Structure 1
Amino acid sequence: MSEYQLIEFQAVDRPLTDRELAYAREQSTRAEISRWSFQNEYHFGDFHGDVNGMLRRGYDVHLHYANFGVRTVAFRLPVGMPFAEDVWSNYIGGEGVSWAPDRRGSGGVLTLSPYHEAGELEELWEFEPCMRAMVELRTRLMAGDLRVLYLFWLAAATDGQPDPVDAKEPPVPCGLAELAGEAQPFLEFFGLEASLLDAAAEGSAEAPDEASAEHRIQRWVESQSEEEVKALLRELLSEDSAAIKSATIARILGATTPSAWPTVVTSRNYQTLLDRAAQLRQAEYEREQKRLVAAEKRKAAKLAQEREVRMRQMVDEPKKWLRQAEELVAARGLANYEAAAEVLDELREALAGDSGEQLARQHSAHLAKKHPTLNRLKSALKKRGLLE
């Protein structure tokens, strides 16, 4: 297996400044670099740049994939965790998830990098959906969506654990089931079955109504005076609007407290979730098999009905079906030869008795004589017992 690695960074809140862009270019001489993205692929060698340095200098999301087991995601959170430490520490702290606060200020870098053996996970080839999902998850996390931290825990639950039983489940955020579609690329990236999230979501309530940054921004806007709004508008029109917007949103999120996300405390561990996920997969497999059997029965009934109608038509107009067999053979191709043989076989059955047998055999002999080089046609007719 040849080695393949992808290193990607994306700026979300604002484009990089000239100084930040220069720093990014110092990290690699081969990467495709812009004010919004940094991407490089490796078939040999490795990335030796400073990941956290890049995230503290303009970029907001980092993705590292290697087909020998490396799966890493990192988020730059400019105003820090939107939860108290006694909340977020339930989901972070193992070997696979880490929080690196800035030396100054409240920001930091959240990194998810669980250990996987080479060949343990299936290889991936599409990364754009994954990066889009990571950007959306970061946005949700910054707005106070606790479900994102639960996903991080789920991806790294057994990292460094001698046995999955040792990985005690943290409080389960409500609304996990509602996040399933959005989280699918995240689950695939870390080799997790969707049924694992289904198992985790069982027994939890819906997500709270005000679960987005938009609500917190709206509350902040409504609290501003007319003069303050005008001052902000002047800034947006006279300076770098993307930078002003990013700084304002960061200030809002830092100054407002998200509503406490409701959770459900369980006595489950990771192995319990795995077992339940297996049960859900088996149940879904059995439902799918029932659907397939029912679909096959409907299809067979429809084909039988169509065949019955067709055979009645053959009794009324046998010459029409002889012409159809001729046309199929003239169109050439194995599928058409077999279709022609099937038409003659059905015609024989529809007319029944000696007359049907004689007509089908005579026409088969006629076709074989008319097309002496079409050995596949002859073979198709012989399989139906229409030609000696």
Structure 2
Amino acid sequence: MSEYQYYEFQALDRQLSHAEQEQPRSLSTRARITATSFTNTYNWGDFRGDPRRLVERYFDAHLYVTNWGTHRLTLRLPRQTLNLPTVRPYCLDFHVDAWTTRTHLLLDLTSEDEDGDWIEGADDSLASLIGVRDELAAGDLRPLYLAWLSALSARELEDDDEEKHQTRSEPSVPAGLGELTAPQRALADFLRVDNDLLEAAAQASSTIPKKPAKPTKKELAPLIAAMPQKEKDALLLRLALGPEPRLHTDLLHRLRGTIALAATPGYRSAAQLLDAARTLRTEHQQHIERERAKARDRHLTALASEAGSAWQQIEAHIATKKTSAYDQATDLLAELRDAYAHTGRDTDFRRRLSHLRENHQRRPGLIHRLDHRGLR
């Protein structure tokens, strides 16, 4: 298998100047670079640049995917929209990291799984994830909590130290973990968040009164009316000067101060969450097994009711004298045996099987297959 590394960077809040585009160009002559993006795929060799530095200086989002199991998403947000003290409780080792520059907060989310499945071609992955940046800027902490769950799963696999899990507490739990947005669902998949662990975490989230995904007109109207006239004029001027991606986010952040964010302090330890996830996993597996058993019962009942047709199919397979047909006949006979047993007619099956073996005793290939499957 050849090597596969995919790099993508996106500039969202402003376009890069021609001079700024030249800096990434000096790092990769094969990359596709525009005023808002940098993308490149490596099947040999490595990217010469430092993704962290590129995001700090030029880009607002970065995606990195490899065929050895690395999934990495880096986001840059203006410091006034998300502060480091809010993010720190969700940080865990290198899986969830955050730092600041003079103007921005950087959030780095990583999932590693060398044994995980991967698909070569991550071109549309960042587009499905980028929405979490606006959600974070608007005060929705669910993406942070999802990243923390992903890191917790990784820690369980890397270092199954029960004492550490007992002493590690969960961060604040945001409302709505059981009703993720499309970008949040994509993030959970990208970071390989365990579904049972997410369900266990959402049990606490469901008790939190949920705020609407966006502030309502009723909430915003009095807040806007109370804004100083000078500040309103400045916002209108920015709007009049042309499209500005950050304007909507900045305005909501300015108004958000008096809109309470729905979250509750975490009260469970990591060990409690992991234990709850294991319990759910066992319950789900038992449910799956019960459903499979029910489906199997229905199949055997239906097959027993159509036994005459099944015996005719078996004879037709045998009549072809082909080895592949012998295999099909043997498989169907094994199913019939189970169907007869399921309906309490074992004696009838043994009688029919004995008759079939007697009629075809000169077919050693068939007899060998029947003996191998215990159809004696």
TM normalised by structure 2 equals 0.68
1:101-124 Cα distance to aligned partner (Å, 9 max, x none):
3324xx33222347x6x84x5253
Give the superposed CA RMSD: 4.9
Change (3 A) 1:5 1:301: same
**Corresponding position of 1:152:** 147
Partner residue of 1:108 out of 105, 109, 113: 105
Q: Relative to 1, partners in 2 of residues 1:143 and 1:110: Cα closer, same or farther, differing over 3 Å?
A: same
Checking the alignment, whether the CA contact within 8 Å between 1:169 and 1:269 is kept in structure 2 is: yes
Contact 1:101–1:109 (Cα < 8 Å) also in 2: yes
Give the partner amino acid of 2:139.
G
Partner of 1:195: 196
1:231-258 deviations in whole A, cap 9, x for unaligned? 677544xxxxxxx231422432442216
Contact kept in structure 1, 2:130 and 2:183, CA below 8 Å = no
Structure 1 residue 87, shift from structure 2 partner: 3.6
Residue among 132, 136, 147 paired with 2:131: 136
Query: Deviation of residue 13 (structure 1)?
Result: 5.1
Task: Find the counterpart in structure 2 of residue 334 from structure 1.
Answer: 324
> Which residue in 1 is equivalent to 2:301?
301
Residue ranges of structure 1 left out of the alignment (5+ in a row): 237-243, 315-320, 347-356, 366-374
Structure 2 runs not aligned, ≥5 long:
337-351, 372-376
Local SS of the residue matching 1:29:
coil
Distance 2:234 2:301 in 1: 72
Shift of 1:295: 0.9
| Structure 1 residues 232-291: Cα deviation after superposition (integer angstroms, max 9, x where no partner) | 77544xxxxxxx231422432442216332223343222222222111111100000001
TM, length-normalised to structure 1? 0.66
Q: Matched residues in 1 for 2:180 and 2:126: separation? A: 16
- The amino acid of 2:300's aligned partner reads A
Task: Show the counterpart of 1:246.
Answer: 245
Q: Look up the equivalent residue of 2:202 and give its one-letter code.
A: A
Please identify, of 91-100 and 20-29, the stretch whose mean Cα deviation from structure 2 is larger: 91-100
Inter-partner Cα distance in structure 2 for 1:232 and 1:220 = 22
Would you say the 8 A contact 1:174–1:262 is kept in 2? Answer: yes
**SS in structure 1 at match of 2:171:** coil
Q: Residue 210 in 1 paired to residue 212 in 2?
A: yes
- Distance in 2 between the 1:340 and 1:306 partners? 17
Q: Distance in 1 between matches of 2:14 and 2:216?
A: 18
How many residues are paired up? 340
Q: How does 1:1-388 map to 2 (within 5 A)?
A: 3-12=3-12, 16-56=16-56, 58-67=58-67, 70-78=70-78, 80-82=80-82, 86-92=85-91, 95-104=94-103, 107-113=104-110, 119=114, 122-125=116-119, 127-128=122-123, 130-157=125-152, 163-179=164-180, 183-204=184-205, 205=207, 208-212=210-214, 235-236=241-242, 244-257=243-256, 259-307=259-307, 310=309, 334-335=324-325, 338=328, 379=365
Q: Distance in 1 between matches of 2:214 and 2:15?
A: 23
Separation (CA, whole Å) in 2 of partners of 1:382 and 1:93 = 59
SS at match of 1:256: helix
Q: Which residue of 2 aligns with 1:372?
A: none
Distance 2:254 2:95 in 1: 30
Amino acid in structure 1 at the alignment position of 2:7: I
Distance 2:239 2:219 in 1: 15
State the Cα deviation string for residues 284-305 of structure 1 (Å, max 9, x = none): 0000000100011112222223
Identical pairs, percent: 27
SS in 1 for 2:212: coil
Report the 3-state secondary structure (helix = DSSP H, G, I; strand = E; otherwise coil) of the residue aligned with 2:90. Answer: coil
Whole-Å separation in 2 of the counterparts to 1:264 and 1:306: 59
